[in-house]
Each structure stands twice: as structure tokens, then as C-alpha cells.
Structure 1
């Protein structure tokens, strides 16, 4: 049957309209047949024959005193009014058409809504689950093309990552030769400057490889005690001489442990680099977990708040790695947050400093697959 009648949007819409018309006509006919006899009007009684009168006499009847008041009023003229079953059938018809139209519009709009939600997920996460190929022929074809486009984007990103990773890896060999040759210089000051430049280039290569590795790495979803993880990060930073405090509590959540660890590491490192100390606040609200990391540094200008998430963008214009970093920390943190189905936002604290807020769903895997 599906081969004879294609499952298209036109076919579905046409079938709904035909079903609506047939249903309303059947209901209206049934109502008229059932209720019609109860509202039928009796025929008026025949008029009595007129009496013949002599010529010149009046035809006006002679009524006794008081008879006029007892005369019944003339019956109303209902010839131009519709019976009650007609109006009832019309109301039922309108109700059925409205319900079927609402149902049909919802069924037809559902694939488009799914495609819109899938496009939104793809914009946030290239590894988002593919859209289900169901529905009419047109929507199935659109979903198939959308999934094919997503696969091509993944392949292109993987090829780009492999290319950059190969270039970054190959650059280590000449850097190593330069370091060995610089050690043979008699000028110790020049040797120190060359060593510093080599260290900066090596750090940039390591950060680039880490960024590309995070883009292509596949992880499994696991339950994680977020409170314990924050305590471990704070203790590691305190052992290195930094001041880090943690407060708040949240239940375990389903997430990507590696991505979450790298996200928090970069946010904490960024806070300690610019603010000397970091205060971590953990809060659970409903089905989401919020992590705020506040530093006590100068903050970020409002017009640069969104640009700092771009790779290799730094607010410290001197390009000094020891004061400004490489410029990949926030980019890695944001991409990791998106892979976990969360969001990462920045805003300046009223008392000074910068607050980085990471919001994660407690069931991120289910949230990513929900349509």
C-alpha cells in the first residue's frame, strides 16, 4: 500500500482533510436523523369554513364582552428560523474540524521542529547525535541530507585536526635542533633569550596539540562526584602555593570525566594567572549543576567578553606566555562544556574580578539526545 500511495506531506494533508470532511458530514447527518423528529412542528389545524353572509353585511365577527381577552395570540412565524439540530450540527462540525486541523498541523510540524532542534545542537556540538530519519518522504530526505552534512563536517574537522597535529609535531624536530645549537653559543645572554623563545614555541605547540586532541577525542559517559573532583583540584592548587577555596555541594552527575576535568583545569588556571586566588562555589538547582570560579583580578572589558573564547585570542597584548598564556584555555573550556551539553559564561563581579560560570545538566547524555 505504501508503494502505491507515497507517504508525502501532501498525501498526509489530503488524507486529513478528507477524513475531516467525511467525519463532519457523518456526524451532522446522524444528529439530524436522531434529533430531527423531536423538534418537528405539527401542521396548523385547518381553518373553519367561512359563513356566507347577505350582501351589505359586515364580515367582522361579533364577540361577546370579555371574549377578546380570552382569544389566544397568533402563532409565531417560524418559517425563516433554523431548527435546533442544525445549529448543534454546525457547532459539532466546527469542533471536529478544529481538532483535526490542530492534530494534523502538529503532526506535520513535528519533523520540522526536530530538524530545527538538531541544527541548534549541531551549532553547539559537532558530535551531537544525528536526527532520526522518520516521517513523510520530504522530512526523511531532509533528515538524511542533514545527517550527511554533519558527517562531512566531522570528517573535515578531523582532517584539519590531523593536519595541524602533524605540522605541530613536525615542528618539534627543528626546535630541538635550535635548542641544541643555541647551547653551543658563547653569548650566555643570547643563549638565554633563544631558550626562552624556544620554550614559548614549545608551549604553544603543546597547547595546540591539546586543543586538537580534545576536539577529536571520544569519551564515555560516566557518573562523577563533582564535589570530590573540585576538592581534589583545590588541593592540587594549594600544594603548588595557590589559595583556592571550595564551598557548596551537589549530587553526582552523568558527564564526560575527561572533558570536565580539562574544562575546570583551564578555568582554574586562568583564574590563578590573572587573579592570584580563586573561589569556587558549587550549587545544584533542579536538574542542573552550576560551578562558579571567581578570581580577584582586573576582570575583562565588556566589549571583549565574547572574543576571549576564540582560539589564540589574548587580552594581554605583549604576547608574554608567563603573563598572558597561549590563548587556548577558555576556548578549550568552552568546547568541553558544549560536549557535555552545558554552557560556559563570563561576567565581571560587582566587587571586582571575573566570574566564570559553568552550567551542566545532571543527565547531560539524555539532554543531548532529547528532541
Structure 2
């Protein structure tokens, strides 16, 4: 008998029905006891100046609370409470589902959604948990496939590099070696990109200023011109994602400009990290296109520039996983500035 009321519709209908019945029952009880005027007192007569007797006239009033004000007020309050509870009843499963989806976007191994509550909420939770299980299985399967692809492709490429030594034509040998190195570089970059996509990382408080200073000093120790300026307070981020994003931006600046400058601008709402170079820059109509996988500008399609067109893609997706965004702007005086905006909330 209780099964029909184990749904959102049944519970909401039951709450409103109880509120309406109680409100009308109180109204009936109230009008029955207070709505009728009290019985008139015994009739009394008043003698007029001419000696005639006329009955005394008195108006009989109901008490102030005997009218419709009290029951109607109760009805109004009852329906407001029922509507509030009903709205909360409807929104609670949606809120739980939204929170679970947010947890899943940050961590594929987040705990499953509790399958309790009304029928519709249990069905939605069960479907969500099944979706999460299938996503984890697909990610795990893709990871195994990537490992197999990496192994199976590297083996013949390594054999080809060994057989190159048997070619007597030095010029042809150099060209083939360069092609093989490019293929291995593309393979490494692609696997790195796919690894970044499937990696789920929890957030931690990180001293971003110390991280940027360390990356700048490491680059200088390797002979690269990377400068640093600005200060900031610790920020809750995914450390590996932030490091990957900054590494790609710095490498891109060094590849095309030969130097880079990192500036931190902190505020109560967000942290802004700028990676500035004074290289050839990118035309305004192509700045969005460079975020596409494997996209490279025509001017960079040469062996000296290197890269396969995945660095900016990895950086943009890493910034979005951190809840921020990555934009490209023209550097005053010429060049490219990558602006990464990271929220503090």
C-alpha cells in the first residue's frame, strides 16, 4: 500500500493532500464553534414616554476571531509549508546528482552515489553509478591499449634505427634517422597527451610561487633564459596538471622566442600567470586554432621548431581541469603572451 507514495510524485501529492485536508478540517471546526453568533439573551422591554412597551434591541456580535481570518491564515501558512517541503523534496535528488557529477569530473574513482530515497532518485542514482562504472572500465581499457600500442610501435622503430647503420648512403641515412626520430617524438607526444586526458588528480594546497621559481631556476641551470617576477599566496590546485601546463607554455616560448618571462598577479578572486615571449607571435585569427590537437602554424612546420602540435592543447585542457582558462594575447612590442587565469573560489 505504501509503494505508490515511494515516488517523488506520490510524496509531493501526499504532502499537499494532507495540508489541504488539515486546513479545511480546521476551517470547518473553527466556523462550527465560532462562526455562529451566540444565542440572544432573554427579551427585555422598555417603556416609552407615551406608556407603551417596546422590546429592547441589542446587536449580537461574533468574537473577533470568529470570522474567516484565522482559518484562512492557517490555510495560507499550511500551503506555504507544503510547497516549501515539496520543492525541497524535488530538488534534493537533483542536488545529490549534481554533486556526484562534479566529484566524478575531478576523480573517476570517487565513491558511488547512494541509491536511496524515492523511486526516481534511486533509478537516477543507479543509472549514474552504472555510467561511472562503464567510464572507469573504458578508461582502464584504453590505458591497457595505450601501453600495448607504445610497446608494439617502439619495438619496430628501434629495429629500424639499428638497421639504418647498414645503409652506406650517409645523406639517406641521416634523412631516415630524422624521420624515425620525428615518428618517435610524435608517438611520445601523443601518448603523453592521452595520459594527461585520463589522469585524475586530487587538489592540494600548493605554493605556486615556489613552484614557478623552481621551474625558472631549473631552466636557467640548463642554459635557458627564463625570468620570473611577482608573488602570490598558496592556491588549491592539481599540482601535476599545473606543472604540465607551465612546462608546455615555457617550452613553447623557448622554442619560438629563445626566452621567456613568467609573471604572477594575485588577487582575492583569482591568480593570473603570464608566460611572456618576444618571438614571432601568432595572428589573432589563429590563436584559437593552436589549441586544437596536432595543429601547427605553417611557419612552424620545419624540423628546427620541433613539436607535433599538442603542447598548447595539453596546456589549455590542464587549465580547464583546474577550473580556469587559458588565453593567448599579443605581447606589447611583439611576441606572444599566454595568460592563465585560476580562480581562488
After TM superposition, the score normalised by the length of structure 1 is 0.73
| Distance of aligned partners of 1:203 and 1:6 in 2 relative to their CA distance in 1, 3 Å threshold | same
C-alpha distance in structure 2 between counterparts of 1:356 and 1:280, whole Å: 10
C-alpha distance in structure 2 between counterparts of 1:297 and 1:26, whole Å: 82
Residue 137 of structure 1 is matched in structure 2 by: 119
Residue 14 of structure 1 is matched in structure 2 by: 13
Deviations 1:145-195 (A, max 9, x none): 122112212322332233233223322222222222222323222222112
Equivalent residues in 2 for 1:150-189 (5 A)?
150-189=132-171
SS at match of 1:296: coil
Shift of residue 259 of structure 1? 2.9
Structure with bigger RCO (C-alpha 8 Å, 6+ apart): 1
Equivalent residues in 2 for 1:279-318 (5 A)?
279-286=261-268, 288-316=270-298
Shift of residue 91 of structure 1? 3.2
Residue 309 of structure 2 is matched in structure 1 by: 327
Structure 2, unaligned runs of 5 or more? 51-56
Residue 354 of structure 1 is matched in structure 2 by: 337
Structure having the higher Rg? 1
C-alpha distance in structure 2 between counterparts of 1:206 and 1:240, whole Å: 22
Moved more, 85-94 or 12-21: 85-94
Residue 323 of structure 2 is matched in structure 1 by: 342
C-alpha distance in structure 2 between counterparts of 1:131 and 1:301, whole Å: 47
Shift of residue 328 of structure 1? 1.8
Q: Segments of 4+ in structure 1 off by > 6 A?
A: 44-49
Deviations 1:91-115 (A, max 9, x none): 3422331232023112212322443
C-alpha distance in structure 2 between counterparts of 1:21 and 1:310, whole Å: 59
Residue 70 of structure 1 is matched in structure 2 by: none
| Distance of aligned partners of 1:223 and 1:296 in 2 relative to their CA distance in 1, 3 Å threshold | same
Shift of residue 336 of structure 1? 3.4
Aligned equivalent of 1:90, options 58, 72, 93:
72
C-alpha distance in structure 2 between counterparts of 1:305 and 1:117, whole Å: 34
Deviations 1:69-98 (A, max 9, x none): xxxxx999x99xx98730343234223312
- On the 8 A contact 2:106/2:200 being kept in 1, the answer is no
Corresponding pairs, count: 335
| Distance of aligned partners of 1:238 and 1:285 in 2 relative to their CA distance in 1, 3 Å threshold | same
| Distance of aligned partners of 1:152 and 1:87 in 2 relative to their CA distance in 1, 3 Å threshold | same
Shift of residue 116 of structure 1? 4.4
Shift of residue 232 of structure 1? 0.6
| Distance of aligned partners of 1:307 and 1:112 in 2 relative to their CA distance in 1, 3 Å threshold | farther
Residue 224 of structure 1 is matched in structure 2 by: 206
Residue 24 of structure 1 is matched in structure 2 by: 23
After TM superposition, the score normalised by the length of structure 2 is 0.78
| Distance of aligned partners of 1:283 and 1:148 in 2 relative to their CA distance in 1, 3 Å threshold | farther
| Distance of aligned partners of 1:13 and 1:48 in 2 relative to their CA distance in 1, 3 Å threshold | same
Shift of residue 357 of structure 1? 0.7
Residue 255 of structure 2 is matched in structure 1 by: 273
- On the 8 A contact 1:226/1:250 being kept in 2, the answer is yes
| Distance of aligned partners of 1:347 and 1:221 in 2 relative to their CA distance in 1, 3 Å threshold | closer
- On the 8 A contact 1:315/1:324 being kept in 2, the answer is no
Equivalent residues in 2 for 1:72-91 (5 A)?
85-91=67-73
